[in-house]
Amino acid sequence: MILNVSYITSNKLDIKLHNMETKVKTSFLYGIQPWALSLMTAFIGMLLLFLLAGLLADVAKLGDNGELVAYICYDILIAISCFFICRKSPESLWYVPILSNTVGIISAIIEPFFWITPLWILFSSGWVLSVIGAIIGAVLGRQKSIPN
């Protein structure tokens, strides 16, 4: 609260207080830790991947092309979220891409034919995009926090 003396009379000392702070609306996601945002991104990405792949394969009758589009949307979602999370907190650069890509990492470890099928190309390109997005977000976040 900032004290603003707007007028003074000879009889009384009238001090008018003004709250000079502006009320800024923040998102409910603003207070969440980066590791939690990364895990939320992984969960939402997994839902998007399965729902979008199912919808595009069944409703749009795209078949395998529907899965390709779903994986590309999944990769873009993960990369954009890594960018924003790392821009908000640049020190989280080291773990945000890993936690955000837990679905792909777990499937690479568990699925026996992961590295034989073209699936690895889609997930690996998403991993690279998420690391690039996280690095760019961390650089911009550090520049934003440096006072001029």
Average pLDDT over residues 89-106: 92
18 falls within a domain: no
48 falls within a domain: yes
9 falls within a domain: no
Q: What is the CA radius of gyration of the chain?
A: 24
Q: What's the pLDDT at 63? A: 67
Q: What's the pLDDT at 12? A: 46
8 A C-beta contact, residue 47 and residue 73: no
39 falls within a domain: yes
- Rounded-to-integer distance, Cα 140 and Cα 34, Å: 16
Query: Does residue 92 come out as left (phi exceeding 0), alpha (psi in the -120 to 50 range) or beta?
Result: alpha
Span between the terminal Cα atoms of the chain, in Å: 25
* Mean pLDDT computed over every residue of the chain: 81
What pTM value is reported for the model? 0.74
Does the pLDDT of residue 26 top 80, yes or no?
A: no
104 falls within a domain: yes
Does the pLDDT of residue 17 top 90, yes or no?
A: no
Does the pLDDT of residue 139 top 90, yes or no?
A: yes
- Rounded-to-integer distance, Cα 63 and Cα 55, Å: 10
13 falls within a domain: no
| Lowest model confidence (mean pLDDT) among 5-9, 49-53, 110-114, 135-139 | 5-9
pLDDT digits (tens, 9 = 90+) for 58-91: 776 776 677 788 888 899 999 999 999 999 999 9
Q: What's the pLDDT at 25? A: 65
CA 137 centroid distance within chain: 10
60 falls within a domain: yes
> Domain range for residue 113?
31-145
In total, how many domains does the chain have?
A: 1
8 falls within a domain: no
Q: What's the pLDDT at 31? A: 79
